[in-house]
Amino acid sequence: MQTLSDPHRLHQLVRQWHQAGERVAFVPTMGNLHDGHIALVHQARSRADRVVTSIFVNPMQFGAGEDLDAYPRTLEQDKQRLFDAGCDLLFTPETELLYPAGLAQQTYVEVPGLSDLHCGTSRPGHFRGVATIVCKLFNLVQPDIACFGEKDYQQLAVIRTMVRDLNMPVEVIGIPTVRERDGLAMSSRNGYLTEAERAQAPELKRTLDLTAQGIQSLGLTDRNTLEQQAEARLRQHGFTPDFVRICHGQTLAPAQPGDTQLVILAAAQLGRARLIDNLTVDLTG
């Protein structure tokens, strides 16, 4: 596995692969790799001749007062995991090379509407930062396919919309959330939890499961009550909920009676960690 930090060298190498007719898959990450990331790399490996992974803690998607500086950086361990998973090229760019004009660059990618809901309301500018960096990385890697986790459900929806609206020739693949044995979605930020908080953390997924059961038995006419009950339950278990929302699975608008493909989105603070999770609900059966 090669490791490159120079965007121009990366671009030259992947151009050679494309000229040789090889199919390139891309897995963008912020590092501190866990089994969720590795599932993306395995999926990429099974679908392409070459796998490129990036590790870049993108300052543009962090708000003031967020955990940009504290974000866990474990490069040597990550390299070993990527090598073992069959990654061909690790891209670890320097911030100055990806943002030559600084973070106040003149050009951004905005996906309005979707980016302003849910996590976007709590983290203003977050999805603009995500869409902009993913667009930059796509320009450099020029992947045929790119793999993203369904754990970051709204992020995946924003990226799919960007790719569709800007005619980007990339197939976006969503990968199911990889969980710990007790149901907690794997996330780099789980490392912020104390032992006591870690013991409470699976209640986020349990709350989603209970809310899904409530939808199955009561339908959507009392959506607000189900959401409020879910938030109250999270409070009882030591979380400070940001939101639990029952949404249309594609638009992420509030679900309406008659909708059949739903997603329950949740975000909650637990100690130092802002945890997110989601669960899809199919009402067609």
Ligand X SMILES: Nc1ncnc2c1ncn2[C@@H]1O[C@H](COP(=O)(O)OP(=O)(O)OP(=O)(O)O)[C@@H](O)[C@H]1O
**Bind-site residues:** 30-37, 61, 149-152, 155, 178, 186-189
Does residue 11 carry a catalytic annotation?
Answer: no
Alpha-carbon gap, residue 15 to 176, rounded angstroms: 30
Binding to ligand X by residue 151, rule CB under 6 A?
A: yes
Binding to ligand BAL by residue 115, rule CB under 6 A?
A: no
E runs forming strands in the chain: 2-4, 24-29, 50-55, 89-91, 145-149, 171-175, 240-248, 261-270, 273-282
Q: Are 278 and 198 in contact (CB under 8 A)?
A: no
Binding to ligand X by residue 40, rule CB under 6 A?
A: yes
Closest by CA to 244, choosing from 142, 130, 118, 157, is 118
According to CB under 6 A, which residues from 118 to 177 bind ligand BAL? 152, 155
Binding to ligand X by residue 263, rule CB under 6 A?
A: no
The residue behind tokens 């879910």 is 230
The binding site for beta-alanine consists of 61
Q: Are 260 and 268 in contact (CB under 8 A)?
A: no
Could you tell me where the DSSP H helices lie in 183-246? 195-200, 203-218, 223-236
Least distance to ligand PAF from the beta carbon of 56, Å? 6
Single residue of 177, 207, 211, 278 touching ligand X by CB under 6 A: 177
Binding to ligand X by residue 30, rule CB under 6 A?
A: yes
Active-site residue among 37, 42, 237, 248? 37
The binding site for ATP consists of 30-37, 149-152, 178, 186-189
User: 132-163 burial, b if ≥16 CB within 10 A, otherwise e?
Assistant: bbbbbbbebbbbbbbbbbbbbbbbbbbbbbbb
Single residue of 7, 149, 214, 249 touching ligand X by CB under 6 A: 149
Binding to ligand X by residue 185, rule CB under 6 A?
A: yes
Alpha-carbon gap, residue 1 to 137, rounded angstroms: 19
Hey, how many other C-beta atoms are within 10 angstroms of the C-beta on 206?
A: 15
Q: Are 173 and 146 in contact (CB under 8 A)?
A: yes
Q: Which does 109 bind (CB under 5 to 8 A by kind): ligand BAL, ligand X, ligand PAF, none?
A: none
Least distance to ligand PAF from the beta carbon of 72, Å? 12
Single residue of 25, 37, 198, 279 touching ligand X by CB under 6 A: 37
Contacting residues toward ligand X, per CB under 6 A? 29-30, 36-37, 39-40, 148-149, 151-152, 175, 177-178, 185-189
Contacting residues toward ligand BAL, per CB under 6 A:
61, 152, 155
Task: Tell me the catalytic residues.
Answer: 37
